[in-house]
Amino acid sequence: MLRAMTWNIRTGGRDRGGADRRDRLVRVVAAERPDVLALQELRDFDAGGVLDDFADRVGMRPHLARSCFGQPVAVLLRPPLRAIAATRVRRPFHHAAQRVTVATTAGALTVLSVHLDPYSGLRRRVEAGWAAAALRRAPGELALLAGDLNTLDPVAEHTDRVARLPAAYRRRHLRRDGRTVETRAVARLLAAGLVDLYAAAAGRQRDGAATGPPDAGLTAPTRHGGGAEFSGMRLDYLFGTAALADRVRDCRVLRGGETEYASDHYPVVADLDLDPA
């Protein structure tokens, strides 16, 4: 069994002038022991050996993509998994996208860690298209998109949730008419044939996205990690190709304990019926 996890760790696990949350992050990752870890918001991780130190502490090997505008992202692998290819997706993402391919007993698995534009729905839709294209070029049939998409899904009802946001943040989730909820980035991934693994694991699937209780899969904010720009939202996702979705055995949002303090986002974890080659 192979465990995949995605987590936006909020500004590199440190608040400017505030708390250092990296020990909490390490403890959560160590307890879950993911084989593949997609991280976002790695501020300062690309300097001073910060990423290597973090990877050593969790027993993983890192592959980082720097960002020209926002913050780096990374994919970390737990041995015996190893990268047979690793590269930054060369598109002008607001943050970044890192693509890593590993060998499994069922063939090559390509993992994309991505963090979409937090401010513009139109930019998120474009970036989602770049991410889908990057996975289409992956070898084999197994591919995983993991990350903070900063966007809502096109199935659930979000009007009340968005209305509770302060006006400055509400605009991020509305289209130009100021009324329609912006969901086109997730819709574009679904149209590309990717499957919402949370929905697949839960068995609640309609047109590829989760249905079910209104709090199902919500990932931001945590109880004590900040996140004034959220109002109980599902922004972090694991998407897979159909062949990968067939191998999902569980997918869940980690809540409670250290996760309530370590970041303003909860991690999302999926167990996949795969083994390292």
Q: Give residue-wise pLDDT tens across range 127-167.
A: 999 999 999 999 999 999 999 999 999 989 999 999 999 99
**C-beta of residue 51 within 8 angstroms of C-beta of residue 45:** yes
Please tell me the predicted confidence (pLDDT) of residue 215.
59
- Residue the block writes with tokens 């974890």: 269
Q: What is the DSSP letter of 49?
A: T
| 210 has pLDDT over 50 | no
Domain boundaries, the chain: 2-272
- Residue 160 CB contacts under 8 Å (≥ 6 apart), including other chains: none
Please tell me the predicted confidence (pLDDT) of residue 17.
77
Axis crossing angle, helix 50-58 with helix 22-32, rounded to the nearest 10: 40
Please tell me the predicted confidence (pLDDT) of residue 202.
83
- Given strand 236-240, what is the order of strands in its sheet? 83-88, 97-104, 107-115, 142-148, 236-240, 195-196
Axis crossing angle, helix 184-191 with helix 121-136, rounded to the nearest 10: 20
Binned at pLDDT 50, 70 and 90, residue 18 comes out as confident
- Residue 194 CB contacts under 8 Å (≥ 6 apart), including other chains: 132, 135, 145, 208, 239, 240, 241
| 54 has pLDDT over 90 | yes
For residue 38, what are the β-bridge partners?
6, 75
Q: Please state the rounded mean pLDDT for residues 23-41.
A: 98
pLDDT tens digits for 55-71? 999 999 999 999 989 99
**C-beta of residue 221 within 8 angstroms of C-beta of residue 227:** yes
| 221 has pLDDT over 80 | yes
pTM greater than the 0.85 cutoff: yes
Please tell me the predicted confidence (pLDDT) of residue 170.
96
Please state, rounded to an integer, the average pLDDT across all residues of the chain.
94
- Topology classification of domain 2-272: Deoxyribonuclease I; Chain A (3.60.10)
CA distance 238 to 248: 11
Token pair for 181: 């909820």
CA distance 134 to 90: 10
Binned at pLDDT 50, 70 and 90, residue 212 comes out as very low
Q: What is the DSSP letter of 270?
A: E
| 7 has pLDDT over 60 | yes
| 233 has pLDDT over 60 | yes
**C-beta of residue 237 within 8 angstroms of C-beta of residue 131:** no
Query: Which carries the bigger pLDDT value, residue 87 or residue 216?
Result: 87
Report the candidate in 63, 6, 69 with the shortest Cα–Cα distance to residue 38.
Answer: 6
**56 membership: H or E segment, kind and range:** helix 50-58
| 75 has pLDDT over 80 | yes
3-state helix, strand, coil in the chain (%, to 5): 25, 30, 45
CA distance 262 to 276: 29
pLDDT tens digits for 82-107? 999 999 999 999 999 999 999 999 99
Please tell me the predicted confidence (pLDDT) of residue 222.
97
| 208 has pLDDT over 70 | no
Q: Please state the rounded mean pLDDT for residues 244-260.
A: 97
CA distance 241 to 42: 26
Radius of gyration of the chain (CA): 17
CA distance 116 to 149: 5
Please tell me the predicted confidence (pLDDT) of residue 171.
95
